[in-house]
Amino acid sequence: MDVEKKIQGLREELQQHNYNYYVLDKPQISDYEFDMKLQELQKLEQEHPEFEDANSPTQRVGGAVTRSFETVVHENRMYSLSNSYSKEELEDWETRIRKIVEGKVEFVCELKYDGASISLTYEDGMLKRAVTRGDGFQGDDVSNNVRTIRSVPLKLKGDFPEKFDIRGEIVLPYEGFAKMNAERVDIGEEPYANPRNTASGSLKLQDSAEVSRRPLECLLYTITGNNIGIASQFEGLEKARKWGFKVPGESELKGSIEEVLQYINYWDEHRHDLPYETDGVVVKVNDFHQQDELGNTAKSPRWAIAYKFKAEQESTKLNKITYQVGRTGAITPVANLDAVHLAGTVVRRASLHNADQIEKLDVREGDTVFVEKGGEIIPKIVGVDFTKRDPDSDPTQYATHCPECNTELVRNEGEAQHYCPNVNGCPPQIIGRIQHYISRKAMDIEGLGGETVALLVNAELIENYADLYTLKKEDILPLERMAEKSAENLINGIERSKEIPFERVLFALGIRYVGETVAKKLAKHFKSIDALMAASEEELVNLDEIGERIAWSVVDFFKTEANREHVEKLKEYGIQLEISAEKLANQTNILEGNSFVISGVFEKVSRNDLKKLIEDNGGKVSSSISSKTNYLVAGDNMGPSKLAKAEKLGTTIISEDDFLQMLE
């Protein structure tokens, strides 16, 4: 047998044993026999580097070191799920579905595992890339680390699509987590807090060999891509198992919301029997055509919902109420507590939200309070144990002045929060605005973190985000923990931010109520900061999906002299404050005033590209047909109910070719 065949044979054999052990949980050889075969393969590969393969089983042991993780744009966006906490909310969700979708609706129930979301890309059956969820639009390439996870197939088997993405969770089983912590305690290290955070942190370790020593697993649950030959979610799960993926066997197909609730009730009781952390059930409409008809909101799919199990709750003593100032000047009251263990973490602080919440719960310093940690990252106080209250305690008097600059607080009519109006003189507001400006979804300045921003402000090197562009290496070297290389990285990161496109710069400015989606909409319509600054409230409100509150906030922001000065400085420093000529060249107003719905499978361009073409040419994309829909772009295998609704409403139905001809 020649060497290449020998190497290929060993790879295939070891891949099958990996699958038997880590996916099927049915090992057919001993660990010793497996290790001997792996060593044989390693030796052959070292002797014959011409047969190198990134997907060889020998790559599972890691060894690659990643200094910085490349940012990768997701080909298909990774949406987050909307949450429900009661039977009534689930039933309301089903009612909304029935209004849009006709015919029988089936649901797939899947356990919601608490781990780190991941998207795996396969081409020709080989693992090409692994990317974290990030902000849903883009994430970090963690391929080197994910290759070390034994339940992730490096090479698929069976009849798989040429190219597709599969999404899932990287989790750390309880047993492996306990073993890791026991080893840390033995060597005098602090134990890890909980499996979820440890799994998430593992993906960003620089040394993949260290990742390979952690007993991580990858549970997959969603296949996405173009022309993948799958008609439903449940069919996708079954096919993924056959291709070699670890798909949880607890997923079930249900014919009614009553059956869904039975599934939820069962797992709410039995979830602690599982080897992994789970905090709820994800319910999805099974049929892909129906999913297509339902579409997505700006943040989450309409065809899926997460039912969260009741949050864990503990009682502890509230020692003191303090107040935090956010970048917009919003004041948040914080309860400082006796330490309490809750959902795998030690909790010492909890949010009290605002003055109304404190008054409603009648929370006082010295009270024994109930603390809850559900879907939120930050724990919250949900009640008071009045049986343990000191009869001499006084009601809480909400702060009247800013805890940082002592300015008298204001509360606008109709708003729940108090604000510090000292916008340009209150340190947390100054620091917070700059931290927002440099954040990943905004200017994404590498080498500059929140703590460094605070150091720069406190050292009086900067007063606002425009001042960042005046910094020199010699200015920042004297700062605490600032070495030569760190200073160089920071200056280079600031310089590179000049290439960030206009819509992200607009988001970075920190205009109240202007999030990522609104910033994109404003940038696309006005095309430059000058045009936006000149816009009236009336002009803004006339824009689709821009309400009075956003319009007022934008106009008010640019009324402030300091904000206008910062923008002028950013212009001088070469920041992108208008849509680039290249991007403008690809945009027209040909489709302005027209609303489109896309349904089915297309040959020449993908669904995402179709949406982009519509938006780039002034049209609007909607997920459901209404009387306002001008065109239904119909592909192969489109949903019959969408077609019927379009015909009923007299909507013009066009093909992919018809649409492309419109652009010509």
Distance CA 52, CA 204 (A): 25
Q: Is 414 helix (H, G, I), strand (E, B) or coil?
A: coil
31 is in an annotated binding site: yes
DSSP state of 147: T
Structure tokens, 257: 């919301």
Distance CA 415, CA 418 (A): 8
Beta-carbon contacts of 162 under 8 Å, excluding residues fewer than 6 positions away, are 123, 124
Q: Which of 99, 112, 204, 441 is catalytic?
A: 112
For 85, counting Cβ atoms within 10 Å of its Cβ (0-12 exposed, 13-18 middle, 19+ buried), the class is middle
Backbone phi and psi for residue 128, each to the nearest 5 degrees, phi listed first: -100, -40
Q: Length of the chain, please? A: 664
35 is in an annotated binding site: yes
218 is in an annotated binding site: no
> Residue 66 in contact with residue 206, Cβ under 8 Å?
yes
How does strand 107-113 pair with strand 252-254?
Answer: antiparallel
For residue 297, count other CB atoms closer than 10 A to its CB: 10
80 is in an annotated binding site: yes
268 is in an annotated binding site: no
What is the Cβ-side half-sphere exposure of residue 7, based on CA atoms within 13 angstroms? 18
Distance CA 77, CA 89 (A): 26
For residue 605, count other CB atoms closer than 10 A to its CB: 15
Containing 28, the helix (H) or strand (E) segment is none
34 is in an annotated binding site: yes
Distance CA 175, CA 153 (A): 22
Integer-rounded Cα Rg, in Å, for the chain is 28
Backbone phi and psi for residue 537, each to the nearest 5 degrees, phi listed first: -60, -40
What is the Cβ-side half-sphere exposure of residue 324, based on CA atoms within 13 angstroms? 14
Amino acid occupying residue 385: D
Assess whether 112 carries a catalytic annotation.
yes
Beta-carbon contacts of 322 under 8 Å, excluding residues fewer than 6 positions away, are 333, 334, 336, 403
Structure tokens, 41: 């393969």
For residue 559, count other CB atoms closer than 10 A to its CB: 10
CA angle 593, 598, 600 (to 5 degrees): 165
Structure tokens, 602: 């297309």
32 is in an annotated binding site: yes
47 is in an annotated binding site: no
Distance CA 171, CA 357 (A): 36
| CA-to-CA separations, 201 to 78, 121, 142, 206, in angstroms, rounded | 20, 21, 11, 10
33 is in an annotated binding site: yes
Structure tokens, 445: 């300045």
284 is in an annotated binding site: yes
What is the Cβ-side half-sphere exposure of residue 111, based on CA atoms within 13 angstroms? 24
164 is in an annotated binding site: no
Containing 96, the helix (H) or strand (E) segment is helix 87-100
102 is in an annotated binding site: no
Helices (H), 354-426: 355-361
137 is in an annotated binding site: no
595 is in an annotated binding site: no
DSSP state of 141: B
Beta-carbon contacts of 305 under 8 Å, excluding residues fewer than 6 positions away, are 81, 82, 83, 84, 90, 93, 282, 283
* Pick from 439, 450, 434: nearest CA to 566: 434
DSSP state of 21: I
Task: Give the annotated binding-site residues for NAD(+).
Answer: 31-35, 80-81, 110, 133, 169, 284, 308
Task: Give the annotated binding-site residues.
Answer: 31-35, 80-81, 110, 133, 169, 284, 308, 402, 405, 420, 426
Write out the catalytic residue numbers. Answer: 112
Task: Give the annotated binding-site residues for Zn(2+).
Answer: 402, 405, 420, 426
